[in-house]
Amino acid sequence: MGYAARFSDLQLKERPIILGIESSCDETAAAVVRGREILSSVILSSASEQAKYGGVVPEIASRAHTDAISAAVERALAEANVSKNELDAVAVTYGAGLLGALLVGLSFAKSFAWALGVPLIAVDHIRGHMAAAYLADPALEPPFITLLASGGHTAVLYTKSYTEFEILGSTRDDAAGEAFDKAARVLGLPYPGGPNVEKLAREGKESIEFPKMFRGGGYDFSYSGLKTAVINYCHTKEQKGEPYSRADVAASFQAAACGALVGRAVAAAKEKNCRVIAAGGGVIANGYLRERLTNACGQSGIRAVLPEKRFCTDNAAMIAAEGLVQYRARNFVDLSLNACAHIPLGKKGKQ
Ligand code: KG4
Ligand code: ZN
């Protein structure tokens, strides 16, 4: 009998206590939630180590996870004031991400769940970002529009139910976060790019006309044109020896990048007659974007559900939140579960 089958008759709890574990990139994270209440969220990051190399070095990330995983879980339990025997399930990111990094969290989660005799739940990282909204608003129920903007994905989705969604539009090339990271590199800003572009943009004016129109119709995105425009602008100025304001470039880039996200999300909400837009992913931590989205929603009678900034970037509370969705669907997995480097957006949950 497979491990998951042990739980086929499990009496589901209304507000189970779920341990979430996340190790897909450079954050080793563990969190405990009870229902939709966050009891703790611990994030041990190797970002400062990675910054020396200008990006994430997979081997350094895997080693950092190995060093940090036990401490992260212990701290998450201690801060939640929950003993491990009180846990009802363990939810873990099985993909997408760096394979070696994922395997650290996954192996830990498998042995932890097995030792405690509780179900193991496999979470798609990106579904975790989308589920962070359920923690931000515990009363939130589908249907609603989801605006997803992370380092790897940019999409507008119609979330029909807790487990089904329709992709209305997605990026045809770079993701929004990737565009922020590339713009940061051109501007000579250190890793991680997004927050540093935001900081510099605060000192600048939106005075440069970067392309606001993106190729393709509907709700699709394309960030490569904007990225090229930023690169060309800076290089041309430098070749001609003309002075230019890096802060103005940052502010103008940010306005164009965020304008596309806000415009498409609001248009999709109107078309689908949805009164709620729930956002998720690292780029949603951007203060300028949050303000613009909140204002645009306010003008259209739409409610914006924005997770706190620390729950937009990688964390384990969002993994536990999606874990709760899968727990209610009795979607438990066997211990043979493997990590997955790529998971297409829209793939059904792991069985
Ligand atoms: O969701 P996330 O933490 O990881 C992925 O699953 O990809 O997103 C990381 C991305 C990076 O590209 C980072 O530059 C971007 O989110 N990001 C931001 C901000 N904070 C993180 N972009 C713009 N402004 C920010 N404040
Ligand atoms: Zn992420």
Instruction: Name the E strands within the chain.
Output: 17-22, 27-34, 37-45, 89-95, 120-124, 144-149, 154-159, 165-170, 276-280, 303-305
Pick the residue whose CA is nearest to atom 19 on ligand 1.
194
Q: What is the pLDDT of residue 217?
A: 66
Spatial distance between the Cα atoms of 169 and 267, rounded to a whole number of angstroms:
11
Ligand 1 closest atom vs CA 175 = 12
Q: Which ligand 1 atom is the nearest neighbour of the CA of 280? A: 1
B/e letters for 18-54, b = 16+ CB within 10 Å, e = fewer, are bbbbbbbbbbbbbbbbbebebbbbbbbbbeeebeeee
**Beta carbon of 40 within 6 Å of any ligand 1 atom:** no
Structural domains of the chain ordered from first start: 4-131+313-328 (3.30.420.40), 142-311 (3.30.420.40)
pLDDT tens digits for the chain (351 residues)?
A: 899 999 999 999 999 999 999 999 999 999 999 999 999 999 998 778 877 887 889 999 999 999 999 999 999 999 999 999 999 999 999 999 999 999 999 999 999 999 999 999 999 999 999 999 999 999 999 999 999 999 999 999 999 999 999 999 999 999 999 999 999 999 999 888 999 999 999 999 999 999 765 555 689 999 999 999 999 999 999 999 999 999 999 999 999 999 999 999 999 999 999 999 999 999 999 999 999 999 999 999 999 999 999 999 999 999 999 999 999 999 999 999 999 999 999 777 776
Q: Is 154 in the pocket of ligand 1 (CB under 6 A)?
A: no
**Which residue, judged by its Cα, is nearest atom 2 of ligand 1?**
282
pLDDT number for residue 50: 79
Is the CB of residue 311 below 6 angstroms from any atom belonging to ligand 1?
no
Which of 186, 197, 313, 342 best tests ligand 1's pocket when mutated (most atoms within 8 Å of CB)? 313
